Structure 1
Amino acid sequence: MRDDRHPHRPDATTPPPTEQEDTPPMTLRTERDVLAAVPDGCLIDGVWRPTATVFDVHDPATGEVLAQVADATPAEAAEALDAACRAQPGWAATPPRQRAELLRRAYDLLLARADDFALLITLEMGKPLAESQGEVRYAADFLLWFSEQAVRIGGEYRLAPDGGSRLVTTRQPVGPCLLITPWNFPLAMMTRKVGPALAAGCTALLKPAEETPLSCLLLAQVLIEAGLPPGVIGLLPTGKPAELVGPLLADARLRKLSFTGSTEVGRELAAASGKQLLRSSMELGGNAPFLVFEDADLDAAVAGALLAKLRNGGQSCVAANRFLVHETAAEEFVERLTEEMSAVRLARGTDPLARLGPVISEEQRDRIALLVSDAVDRGAKVHTGGAEPAGRGWFFPPTVLSGVPGDALMVQQEIFGPVAQVQRFTDEADAVRRANATGSGLVGYLYTRDIGRALRVADALECGMVGVNRGLVSNAAAPFGGVKDSGLGREGGFEGIDEYLSTKYLAVDLG
């Protein structure tokens, strides 16, 4: 991007005035160079086009304007859909091996620029640089995985039961897609969608979150460099998503919607896409239970709790939201978790020692504070953290609460922040009942040494994924998705490409 489109202030890299003052900030030149490499405009038919207006992207560690980004309009979105429709027949007819090789080149190019992408993610989203580096590797894995699946799209040939014909099935791309991604994993959530779409032979319009569009802009440039033909993808950053998305969902030429975000917005998009009977996949909110039984390895459980709670600052749909611990282990678990959470360094993500960065916005920070104060007002005890520090940026400290009552807001709502609430249960049936007492059903975690119990509880949990003695479930080779209010469909794994394919049946009479 041009430097005049990315205003910087002299103090833009200074950490917030807490305990971080002794750490030198990253040099302004490095950050400026990475920002300057981000393409300008929106991508339509293979060309980066300027827009009449721009919108601000903020650094959540300082609150300052980090960059200004093209603000695409509904008219420009319509042009991008025109281009995607023109490109669809040719891209669908492209041999699977060629599509696979293009995705593999994009994988290599992404990893070659891993440091740039990681810094960009940290600047726009706030997570520590080490976590951003992990996201880049995770994002790249989806390009690699779906490059391998592009050549494995299969069908079937079998004899009809009456012997009178042959039943042949083939798989075909569904057609132009709209891919809408959230701000918390700005790169990985896009590759998790664009990888299978391209592998299946679909063209796509990409709409990144307005809070974090920069890494997606750079990803689009990487795909172009990998050889993607004009029109196969369009990139539409916007500060007014509802105005842009609505007309696209009403256009009969669009055939698929994939959305990751809140359940509330997902419901609205599902209702709108239903008018055109769009193929839809929705990865929505969670309220993950984290069960610790009396026979659990507490060292492993606490380590897993830190990973499941603090990864991405707790701003993840698979973050542990409710820690349900057997009454005989609860006191020790709280003590150990409090000790570990108290030692976490809160700092701007570019600080090499940072283990926890800011939350995405002032609004989100205030919402977390409200959930904590509500729980405390209802009788919960604060063991560490609990209130935002003074200074610039949108920080909230690692927080541990115990004695959280069932009617507290944070029990019913997704916290999306670095707050661990601990409740006690009495037995296995009580644990499962409490775990399932939510409308969400994305992921659950459980810790026990009893393999029989592990399998029983995993079967009983009403969710799409379960971590057994493990605080991390995400893997490009595994199907990601939930049940109940947590969404429709799966991303990743062998199932991920199916969301972008339609089955065609041929009844063949051989005479």
Structure 2
Amino acid sequence: MTYPSEADLLAKIPTQLFINGEWVDGENEPFVVQDPSTGGELARIANASPAQATAALDAAVAVKDEWARTTPRERGELLRKAYEAVIERRDEFALLMTLEMGKPLNEAQGEVNYGAEYLRWFSEEAARITGRYGINPEGTQRMLVSQHPVGPCFLITPWNFPLAMATRKIAPALAAGNTVVVKPASLTPLTTLYFVKILEELGVPKGVVNVVTTRDTAGVSNTIMEDDRLRKISFTGSTGVGVGLMKRAAEKVLRTSMELGGNAPFVVFEDADMDKAIQGVIDAKFRNIGQACTAANRIIVQESIAEEFTKRVAERVSAFKMGRGTEEGVTIGPLAEAKAVAKVGELVDDAVAHGAKVIVGGKAGEGEGFFYEATVLTDIAPESKIFREEIFGPVLPIITFSDEAEAVELANSTEFGLMSYVYTNDFNRSQRMIDQIECGMVSINTGLPSNAAAPFGGVKQSGMGKEGSFEGIHEYMNMKYSAMPNPYSN
């Protein structure tokens, strides 16, 4: 791996809005993107106004019909070239994500591969959009069912996976024949801007992809969503924000995809392979410094093995190295911002006040940057906030259970239902857990289940709709039924 210098990389990243194929300045004062490891400035980014949000939608609307008429192969080839370009610039993307988001470089490399896979997957799915044809039961008509682009889409991406969340939305939207307006998170807009620059270099037509970076999130989002020409919104973020967006979407009856909060249980039964379970919980909890909606939030361990499990996990966690993600051997990078550190600290302090024991960590890092120590807690009281709320940080709370029925009850004791993890060597038990846990995804004996070929999404207050897989492209299409006379009927 050959990483460029940080200065050289940042010098080539766009800092303007991308509207109708042109890079333009924002009408509001630029805002600062921070390096979360130091709190210092990485770049100053264009700050879009509501009027510029309208201009971006104007551009998307103007070319929607032309883009929808392109062949699936044309759209697929563009996405395939984008995949190849991202892989070719793997080291640049990895370093950029580490700089603006904080994750260690090896994890950033993993996200490059993961994010690029959505480009490759949907480049192939573009040519596999199908419908069906048949005769109605009465034999009086022929039925044609076809798929059509939904129309201009508004894509709102989060800060924690700045490449993968952009490609996971942009790729299926373009593959299906839609034009888009993308609003990346203001904490980490650089990766998305660099990706869109690559699309520009590859010849994406003007107006097909537009990007508005802004600190006026409400003004820009409301302006776009109140426009009658918008046809779909896709959002990844907190449940609270998602509920507000769904209310506004309901007023316009917009197609909606929502990937919201999570509070994933990680259930370990006494018959589990202990080594695999420990590695799995490390992967599922501490990937991305715990800042993932799929992160294992509640580690639910059978009583008979809880002491050994806790001891061995604590040994692993105590060996973690905290620091800037570009440093050799770093396991735990910074959190996204100062208020994230405060939030994690509040959850840990509340748990301790309710009787929890700190086995490892338990406090914010000293010095500059937004760090919190990798932490292991035991004796979690059900009334603790950490039992109910999404942590979004490197804190591993261990809860014990006695039997399978209690494990299921604990796993389901949340309004969220995105991801769950189960470790057991009993095949029948694993099938029962799949049936009984209320969530959109279950991971059996693995801590890293996400894949571009798999349908990603949750139930309950974790959202609606699926991203990835062949289901992902249908989120960006309308199904149309056409009736025609049967030429053989009387």
Establish whether TM, by shorter chain, passes 0.5.
yes
1:358 match:
334
Q: CA deviation at 1:425?
A: 0.3
2:42 match:
66
TM-score by length of 1: 0.94
Deviations 1:354-395 (A, max 9, x none): 111000011000110110010011100110000112110000
Contact 1:42-1:237 at 8 Å conserved across structures:
yes
Deviations 1:462-482 (A, max 9, x none): 000001001112100000000
Matched to 1:51, the amino acid is G
Q: CA deviation at 1:39?
A: 1.4
**Aligned mate of 1:257, from 211, 223, 233:** 233
1:208 match:
184
Contact 2:417-2:460 at 8 Å conserved across structures:
yes
> Is 1:471 aligned to 2:466, yes or no?
no
1:23 match:
none
**Aligned mate of 1:46, from 1, 21, 25:** 21
| Rounded Cα–Cα distance in structure 2 between residues aligned with 1:126 and 1:65 | 13
2:98 match:
122
> Is 1:400 aligned to 2:353, yes or no?
no
**3-state SS in 2 of match to 1:328:** helix
Contact 1:40-1:49 at 8 Å conserved across structures:
no
The gaps in structure 1 that reach 5 residues or longer are 1-25
2:12 match:
37
Task: Compute the RMSD of aligned alpha carbons.
Answer: 1.0
1:17 match:
none
Q: CA deviation at 1:491?
A: 0.2
1:183 match:
159
Contact 1:103-1:226 at 8 Å conserved across structures:
no
> Is 1:163 aligned to 2:139, yes or no?
yes
Deviations 1:325-344 (A, max 9, x none): 00001010100000000001
Aligned length: 485
Matched to 2:113, the amino acid is R
Q: CA deviation at 1:74?
A: 0.7
- Following TM superposition, the consecutive aligned residue runs of length 4 or more in structure 1 with deviations greater than 2 angstroms are none
1:131 match:
107
1:12 match:
none
| Rounded Cα–Cα distance in structure 1 between residues aligned with 2:90 and 2:187 | 21
Matched to 1:367, the amino acid is K
1:413 match:
389
| Rounded Cα–Cα distance in structure 2 between residues aligned with 1:368 and 1:284 | 19
**3-state SS in 2 of match to 1:446:** strand
> Is 1:56 aligned to 2:32, yes or no?
yes
1:78 match:
54
Deviations 1:65-90 (A, max 9, x none): 11100001111111111110011000
**3-state SS in 1 of match to 2:161:** coil
**3-state SS in 1 of match to 2:377:** strand
Q: CA deviation at 1:51?
A: 2.0
**3-state SS in 1 of match to 2:134:** strand
State how 1:370-385 maps to structure 2 within 5 Å. 370-385=346-361
**3-state SS in 2 of match to 1:75:** helix
Contact 2:15-2:44 at 8 Å conserved across structures:
no
TM-score by length of 2: 0.98
Matched to 1:499, the amino acid is E
Deviations 1:405-461 (A, max 9, x none): 101000000000000000110100000001000000001000001000001011100
Matched to 2:311, the amino acid is E
> Is 1:96 aligned to 2:72, yes or no?
yes
> Is 1:506 aligned to 2:479, yes or no?
no
> Is 1:445 aligned to 2:425, yes or no?
no
| Rounded Cα–Cα distance in structure 2 between residues aligned with 1:377 and 1:109 | 51
Contact 2:118-2:167 at 8 Å conserved across structures:
yes
Matched to 1:223, the amino acid is L
| Rounded Cα–Cα distance in structure 2 between residues aligned with 1:163 and 1:243 | 54
**3-state SS in 1 of match to 2:74:** helix
| Rounded Cα–Cα distance in structure 2 between residues aligned with 1:138 and 1:297 | 27
Q: CA deviation at 1:510?
A: 3.7
**3-state SS in 1 of match to 2:252:** coil
| Rounded Cα–Cα distance in structure 1 between residues aligned with 2:434 and 2:337 | 35
**Aligned mate of 1:149, from 108, 113, 125:** 125
Contact 2:15-2:190 at 8 Å conserved across structures:
no
**3-state SS in 2 of match to 1:211:** coil
**3-state SS in 2 of match to 1:386:** coil
Instruction: Give the percent of matched residue pairs that are identical in Structure 1 and Structure 2.
Output: 51
**3-state SS in 2 of match to 1:90:** helix
Q: CA deviation at 1:31?
A: 0.5
| Rounded Cα–Cα distance in structure 2 between residues aligned with 1:227 and 1:373 | 52
Deviations 1:60-116 (A, max 9, x none): 000111110000111111111111001100000000000000000111111111111
Matched to 2:35, the amino acid is D
| Rounded Cα–Cα distance in structure 2 between residues aligned with 1:353 and 1:340 | 14
Q: CA deviation at 1:207?
A: 0.2
**3-state SS in 2 of match to 1:275:** helix
Matched to 1:262, the amino acid is S
| Rounded Cα–Cα distance in structure 2 between residues aligned with 1:140 and 1:423 | 37
**3-state SS in 1 of match to 2:304:** coil
Q: CA deviation at 1:225?
A: 1.4
Q: CA deviation at 1:124?
A: 0.3
Contact 1:387-1:397 at 8 Å conserved across structures:
yes
Contact 1:444-1:465 at 8 Å conserved across structures:
yes
| Rounded Cα–Cα distance in structure 1 between residues aligned with 2:49 and 2:16 | 12
| Rounded Cα–Cα distance in structure 2 between residues aligned with 1:131 and 1:294 | 30
| Rounded Cα–Cα distance in structure 1 between residues aligned with 2:486 and 2:384 | 67
